[in-house]
Chain A
């Protein structure tokens, strides 16, 4: 392949400086407290808890076991938070996730003995999917506010749980079925030599990036940097060892959040979802099938809730009629901590997962420090509000800064572009 001449600045003289500058500012923007605040908050909380537990002579907070535990504990809520974030980005709202998950759990538990796990699980996932379709269709086609609709389905689906369970705790009694369920959820997968694995992945990614950049006429520096980092990791691997041992739900979470993030970040679908959530009418007039995206988000959320329900059932091998009640609010809290806008068009699934981690780190911290659960509500509630306040204030400041930046510049373009067109239509 002949290397194509880079056509960087041809169409717009005076602009070529714009792209790299924009990219750099995108990186710094991503690191600003207003954007990455939730990550800093998590680091801060972990640091405080580590110091406290060391001070009190308790087992090290940062031990591999404890971290693995926190990840495992938060994985179900974090998965729900990922899909809820998708719905929030699409400009809607879903309160029914916990009820749907409970319904799915009840379904799988009551069917697994008779039908076997694959079929029971398929039906449970299907149930979740149907709930999502119902939510989406009523919200989009009938045009009722999503808050009201999902408040209704939350209650109604909880009613279905009561009907399925007949108000009692149900369990999977069949030992074979129990084994199948346990295999789905319990236990750990270990990736040995994680540094080497990560290094190889980085090498491949770096290579692909460099290739892509070459093809589109950009500079391959970014890819080279990533690849170099990969080489360093591989080189360090024999020295540092390090294996990654995480619970199965944690891996499920990692897979789900990675895929969802990549779809939202890099695909046409993702871009359009943000557009639809931010301004549905503008998106519609731009030729986007708004209903499809909004209903799709609900369906995905229903399906995700169904999956979490199955995992929940597999974890406890039982569900009582009030199981998971109130979880929908934890999920929303995680998304809000992650900076997702309740008005649509803004949000990041990665940050929602970090939000979930914060909630469970606090939870876990209370246990480790033996502080008693009485104070927990107050602390968690405060954290959520403080986080929202920080986002709001940071957003406002960013706006001021942007206005300043955009007004500092126009001087150069202030005189009207030299169109000598005269104006016949003043009245």
Chain B
């Protein structure tokens, strides 16, 4: 290629004062108007690279060139002024301000809302072919809309390169499409994108070139067209995985006894007349779009939703509608947002793991035996292959996948029989994802019942024996996993084909 790269990194290294080496001799070339994918496992150095590009970290070695000239960005402001906008995973918007104010948050000038902004805003919307009310307050927006506001914000600064860190991690299928369309449209207009994602299909579909990071170094770089998913996974993980096991999950004719019975579950949070049964050894998937009520169903079954009404029976015995009773009955919920709902950040791993089952690890059910707790934690670390210095480590220091395994581990040895997993693999890298899915299968094989909610329908198909399609708080369809497809589930979840036109052929 003769074109000068818009941004190029050569031999960039980043080591921290404490001796951690996050990047080693990394290189990257983003061409103008291209969409460049950046992939790698958790902890491979993607975030550090983004931060170097955004000016949040100064590299300790190597050079950064912008339009061919060597630059040193010491602050995010410097990078932004040069034309690099970074959209972080957790979009830092001001929730109490309007869309318009957020979009122009970074712009200078003494007045809060000059009239000219509105026309500028209208032009921006036209550019991306999207519509949103400029006067809506950001806190009222759905996550997908917030993502769009962040993109608009990036464009408003006149960015020539937009860095997106996991932009679709919490988006539903439809919202994802919107983001895709915008990225494609803008790159056609000349804006370059650096696209960081765990979703390899997105990277394959959207990007022109791709760079793979592993352990802080660039292991591969090339035209996206020359990759397929298997090759990409291989590059990311650095080991040869066996042929993709899209195991049309064993058509387990559920023969086990009914373990969980749910009858007429309703909740103002958006659960309507949900009834189902799950047998021992079954993995049941809940497929639905974001906002369909799939998470709400889990919370209602678990008793975490105090307003939910209905009957939940485990092994034929009614369970009172509180998480406490649910835990006592052998149910476990692995929540969607592990930091906010799953882990106690001030506790080390061992205290987190023992938390739900503390009384049985305590003398007289009252005085915790720290030795027993530590031993259980060590066992869990071993069982799940949690990468950590030991049970004394704080969970907050672990990578996403390992923290998620800790949240699993809490329930592993406490006599849990009904596992409810809400997006168990969100924000988790490829290797850990496989481990977690394997864990789910193993648990079911041991006679447990598992309920899985996921936005990734293929993940559901890979792990579940039966699939419930959730829409508007109801279960609108039920399919054996080996008789359905991602496409069919998507149709059903979107409200098509309910009349049986699609037919589970």
Task: For chain A, residues 1 to 50, give those with C-beta under 8 angstroms from any C-beta of chain B.
Answer: 11-12, 15, 18-19, 21-22, 25-26
Question: What are the residues of chain B within 8 A of A404 when measuring CB–CB?
Answer: 18-20
Does B199 interact with chain A (Cβ within 8 Å)? Answer: yes
CB distance from B54 to the nearest CB of A (A): 20
Docked Cα-Cα span, A56 to B242, in Å, equals 83
Q: Is there an interface contact between A426 and B201, defined as CB atoms closer than 8 Å? A: yes
Does B410 interact with chain A (Cβ within 8 Å)? Answer: yes
Q: Is there an interface contact between B378 and A15, defined as CB atoms closer than 8 Å? A: yes
Docked Cα-Cα span, A280 to B298, in Å, equals 19
Does B458 interact with chain A (Cβ within 8 Å)? Answer: yes
The residue from B302, B340, B369, B431 contacting A281, defined by CB atoms under 8 A apart: B340
Interface size class of A (residues with CB under 8 A): 35 or more
Question: What are the residues of chain B within 8 A of A282 when measuring CB–CB?
Answer: 335, 340-344, 355
Does B131 interact with chain A (Cβ within 8 Å)? Answer: no
Question: What are the residues of chain B within 8 A of A26 when measuring CB–CB?
Answer: 392
List, sorted by A's number, 8 A–B pairs whose CB atoms are closer than 8 Å.
A12-B381, A272-B358, A285-B304, A406-B389, A406-B393, A408-B20, A414-B215, A426-B199
Docked Cα-Cα span, A400 to B98, in Å, equals 37
Does A425 interact with chain B (Cβ within 8 Å)? Answer: yes
Rank and list the top 9 A-B pairs by shortest CB-CB distance, nearest first: A287-B327, A417-B385, A425-B459, A424-B462, A12-B378, A404-B18, A427-B201, A422-B245, A421-B438
Q: Is there an interface contact between B241 and A285, defined as CB atoms closer than 8 Å? A: no
Which B residue's beta carbon lies closest to that of A343? B346
A-B residue pair count with CB separations less than 8 angstroms: 208
Q: Is there an interface contact between B389 and A409, defined as CB atoms closer than 8 Å? A: yes
Q: Is there an interface contact between B245 and A288, defined as CB atoms closer than 8 Å? A: no
Q: Is there an interface contact between B435 and A427, defined as CB atoms closer than 8 Å? A: no
Question: What are the residues of chain A within 8 A of B342 when measuring CB–CB?
Answer: 282, 285
CB distance from A148 to the nearest CB of B (A): 19
Q: Is there an interface contact between B462 and A285, defined as CB atoms closer than 8 Å? A: no
Does A274 interact with chain B (Cβ within 8 Å)? Answer: yes
The residue from B17, B200, B378 contacting A11, defined by CB atoms under 8 A apart: B378
Which A residue's beta carbon lies closest to that of B387? A413
Docked Cα-Cα span, A400 to B18, in Å, equals 7
Residues of B whose CB lies within 8 Å of any CB of A are 17-20, 199-201, 215, 229, 233, 237-239, 241-247, 302, 304, 322-324, 326-328, 333, 335, 340-347, 351, 355-356, 358-359, 362, 365-369, 371-372, 374-375, 378-379, 381-382, 385, 387-394, 397-398, 410, 425, 430-431, 433-435, 437-438, 456, 458-463, 486
Docked Cα-Cα span, A218 to B199, in Å, equals 48
Docked Cα-Cα span, A217 to B241, in Å, equals 43
The residue from A271, A274, A281, A427 contacting B458, defined by CB atoms under 8 A apart: A427
CB distance from B5 to the nearest CB of A (A): 29
Question: What are the residues of chain B within 8 A of A410 when measuring CB–CB?
Answer: 387-389
> Are A416 and B390 CB-contacts (below 8 A) given A275-B355, A281-B340?
no
List 10 additional A-B contacts (Cβ < 8 Å) besides A22-B390, A423-B245, A424-B463.
Answer: A11-B378, A12-B375, A12-B379, A12-B381, A266-B367, A268-B362, A407-B20, A424-B459, A425-B458, A425-B462
CB distance from A277 to the nearest CB of B (A): 8
Question: What are the residues of chain A within 8 A of B345 when measuring CB–CB?
Answer: 278-279, 345
Docked Cα-Cα span, A416 to B433, in Å, equals 12
Q: Is there an interface contact between B247 and A424, defined as CB atoms closer than 8 Å? A: yes
> Are A286 and B378 CB-contacts (below 8 A) given A267-B368, A271-B358?
no
> Are A285 and B458 CB-contacts (below 8 A) given A279-B343, A424-B246, A426-B201?
no
Does A173 interact with chain B (Cβ within 8 Å)? Answer: no
CB distance from A414 to the nearest CB of B (A): 7
Task: For chain A, residues 378 to 427, give those with C-beta under 8 angstroms from any C-beta of chain B.
Answer: 400-410, 413-417, 419-427
The residue from A25, A268, A402 contacting B358, defined by CB atoms under 8 A apart: A268
> Are A422 and B390 CB-contacts (below 8 A) given A12-B375, A216-B369?
no
The residue from A288, A345, A417 contacting B346, defined by CB atoms under 8 A apart: A345
